[in-house]
Chain A
Amino acid sequence: MTTNADHPVIDPFAAALSVSHIKGRSPWQDAWHRLLKNRAAVYSAFIMAAMLLMVVFGPMLISWEPDFTDWDYTSTPPSLASGHWLGTDAVGRDLLVRTLTGGRISLMVGLVATLVSLLIGVSYGAIAGYFGGTADRIMMRMVDIIYALPFIFFVILLMVVFGRHILLIFVAIGAINWLDMARIVRGQTLSLKNTEYVEAAKACGVSDWNIIRRHITPNLLGVVIVYVTLTIPQVILVESFLSFLGLGVQEPMSSWGALVSDGAQDMESAPWTLIVPSVFLTVTLYCFNFIGDGLRDALDPKDHL
């Protein structure tokens, strides 16, 4: 039985514990460094930033309006002379400005629908994970059931049934993708709930709310960020699917999917009308995927995919 007086072991040990010459790194710093080393992710981030700037500010700087039909120059290929740098479509609308404004819609849908997904998924998953037990089992069973359904069919049905209102698109698409988020958040909450440091916090009398705030939420953040970044391209993809089928945003709004669909109609005579929006769409999805992947590797290097 040790007393405070006689400590031949503990005192020198404690004294030697001040190993100040070793500089520690917080997990966030570690993750940041790992992310920076991932060149694909870094380049993608720059390209995405450029894309965002172009899409937001581009149309303001270009003289053409997206729905202005330039009868002098219908179906012209890209040229500097005509003033239409990326060419025009069959009715003479400037392709560049259409693509950029279409990009606004596609990206906006991506962000908002992802937000919807995020809100539903995180709340659902966190509740299921935190309360555990029967509530968790039932909630997860529901997720399993819904997961098995061929969702695209329901979205198509929704669009057909309720018309192509943009708000509905946000909600419908968001409603498809929350399942993965919910599963991940629930898994993470469950394992966090049972960690020793949460147990210790409880033993010290920390309130539930503070536990959630200080221990669970920061650890959820990483996982959520990764999934948000990976959901955005999925959502943009679904929206463009719908638009391609003619079930997406309504005229005069246009998105990349609709532009690709239009371009596919004229692809033999005016291939640029297909290629330009396709490139923008593909590059965006490509970059988001790399960024999401990079984030996932950075935050949890063992989670290979």
Chain B
Amino acid sequence: MARHALWRLLGLIPTLLMLITIAFFLMRVAPGGPFDSEMLLPADIQANLNAKYHLDESLLQQYFRYLSQIAVLDFGPSIQYKDWTVNELIGQGMPVSLTIGLAAMVLAFFMGTVLGITAALRQNTRVDYSLMGVAMLGISIPNFVIAPILILILAVYAGWLPAGGWDWSIASMVLPVVTLSLPVTAYIARLTRGSMIEVMHSNFIRSARAKGLPESVVIRRHVLRPALLPVISFLGPATAGMISGSVIIERVFSIPGLGSYFVQGALNRDYTLVMGVVIFYGVLIILLNFLVDLIYAWLNPKVRYDNKR
């Protein structure tokens, strides 16, 4: 199994390369450079700046220079925030975004599976219908709709929570984490419910019941593991979705995370910063998908042993 894992890891490199290449050329193809919005600079200062950031070289040269830089994890200086390197900026924004993301993921997984299991065990009752109706709402309401509404109710009218900002206090974490996790929670709830129902209709569950085992044992020992497999698989795309969602969440709640840096960087043509963030997130998604694949293979004996052969 270790060899299989290594092989999969290697297979991720093309993905990473493609990520970097697309982002790089997209940014550079843009009309306008990073210094256009500043006051009109005298020609020789422009030339100096361009040389400093290697913008005078050909595009291909810049590309390979960049690749060699990232290979040693040097993302270069930020063009927009002149005193900072991209590594430092990422270092600042990452803990914030990661905390919110991780907390949201954990919340989504547990809430989602619990709700889904509850609905499945009470299939076709009012509990089931209302839970699934709410879940569908969770999937349908965009997070930029729910966020302002929650802020309005909980922060402005009730005053229980801050309306934005980030100071590492629990209070400031609640709204962003909950809002970020909502669509994923809802999706996981629906997925879990559907999966459980399908498993509960299998022949091997009938066998388990014929053995006279109490229903709780049947659910715990025979139903849960196969039922949760699709949820585990979903965690990969779920993370990517959450990362996308975080861009909005950070904007609405004024959180200084990577998403904010990205949007600002994109608007200001801060090439290095944008690339840095894109690559960082890209690597994160790729690694996470890889991890999820491993966990899935471990949990699903059919996959595990087919690979051994």
A–B contact, 8 Å CB criterion (strictly below): yes
Chain A, 258-281, contact with B by CB distance < 8 Å: what is the 0/1 string? 001101100110010011001001
Q: B152 touching A268 by the CB < 8 A rule? A: yes
Query: Nearest chain-B residue to A288 (Cβ)?
Result: B140
Is A124 at the interface (CB under 8 A from chain B)?
no
Chain A, 83-96, contact with B by CB distance < 8 Å: what is the 0/1 string? 00000000000000
Q: CA A210 – CA B86 in complex, angstroms? A: 58
Q: Which of B194, B247, B274 has the most CB of A within 10 A?
A: B247
Q: Which of A145, A154, A240 has the most CB of B within 10 A?
A: A145
Q: CA A293 – CA B23 in complex, angstroms? A: 35
Is B263 at the interface (CB under 8 A from chain A)?
yes
Q: A282 touching B282 by the CB < 8 A rule? A: no
* Chain B, range 125-147, C-beta contacts under 8 Å to A: 133, 136-137, 139-142, 144-145
Q: B194 touching A281 by the CB < 8 A rule? A: no
Is B29 at the interface (CB under 8 A from chain A)?
yes
Binds B, one of A9-17, A156-164, A191-199: A156-164
Is B121 at the interface (CB under 8 A from chain A)?
no
Is A21 at the interface (CB under 8 A from chain B)?
no
Is A153 at the interface (CB under 8 A from chain B)?
yes
Return chain A residues, CB-CB under 8 Å to B144: 240-241, 244, 257, 260-261, 264
Contacts A241-B142, A304-B198 known; A152 to B244 CB distance under 8 Å?
Answer: yes
Binds A, one of B12-20, B63-71, B98-106: B12-20
Return chain A residues, CB-CB under 8 Å to B195: 304
Contacts A149-B22, A157-B274, A161-B30 known; A245 to B148 CB distance under 8 Å?
Answer: no
**How many inter-chain contacts with C-beta < 8 Å in the A-B complex?**
128
Contacts A282-B140, A289-B136 known; A304 to B194 CB distance under 8 Å?
Answer: yes
Query: Nearest chain-A residue to B28 (Cβ)?
Result: A161
Q: CA A133 – CA B9 in complex, angstroms? A: 24
Q: CA A261 – CA B23 in complex, angstroms? A: 27
Return chain A residues, CB-CB under 8 Å to B262: 153, 156
Is A151 at the interface (CB under 8 A from chain B)?
yes
Q: A145 touching B18 by the CB < 8 A rule? A: yes
Q: Which of A153, A158, A274 has the most CB of B within 10 A?
A: A153
**How many A residues are at the interface, by size bracket?**
35 or more
Q: Interface SS of chain A: helix, strand, loop or mixed?
A: helix
Contacts A157-B27, A244-B248, A305-B191 known; A149 to B19 CB distance under 8 Å?
Answer: yes
Q: B263 touching A289 by the CB < 8 A rule? A: no
Query: Nearest chain-B residue to A158 (Cβ)?
Result: B26
Return chain A residues, CB-CB under 8 Å to B282: 148-150
Which residue from B140, B145, B266 sits with its C-beta under 8 Å from A157? Answer: B266
Return chain A residues, CB-CB under 8 Å to B15: 144-145, 148-149
Is B251 at the interface (CB under 8 A from chain A)?
yes
Contacts A160-B30, A282-B145, A305-B194 known; A148 to B263 CB distance under 8 Å?
Answer: no
* Chain A, range 225-244, C-beta contacts under 8 Å to B: 233, 237, 240-241, 244
Q: CA A71 – CA B28 in complex, angstroms? A: 45
Nearest CB in chain B: distance from A53 CB, A: 21
Q: A304 touching B197 by the CB < 8 A rule? A: yes
Q: CA A160 – CA B214 in complex, angstroms? A: 60
> Beyond the given A148-B286, A152-B244, A282-B137, could you list 16 further A-B residue pairs with CB under 8 A, ordered by the A residue number?
A146-B18, A147-B237, A148-B15, A148-B289, A150-B243, A150-B282, A152-B243, A153-B244, A157-B266, A161-B27, A233-B140, A241-B142, A260-B144, A264-B148, A268-B152, A304-B197
Q: List, sorted by A's number, 14 A–B pairs whose CB atoms are closer than 8 Å.
A: A148-B286, A149-B15, A153-B277, A156-B263, A157-B26, A240-B142, A241-B144, A245-B248, A260-B145, A267-B152, A268-B152, A282-B137, A289-B139, A305-B194
The 8 closest A-B pairs by CB, nearest first: A304-B194, A152-B244, A161-B30, A285-B140, A286-B140, A264-B148, A278-B145, A145-B15
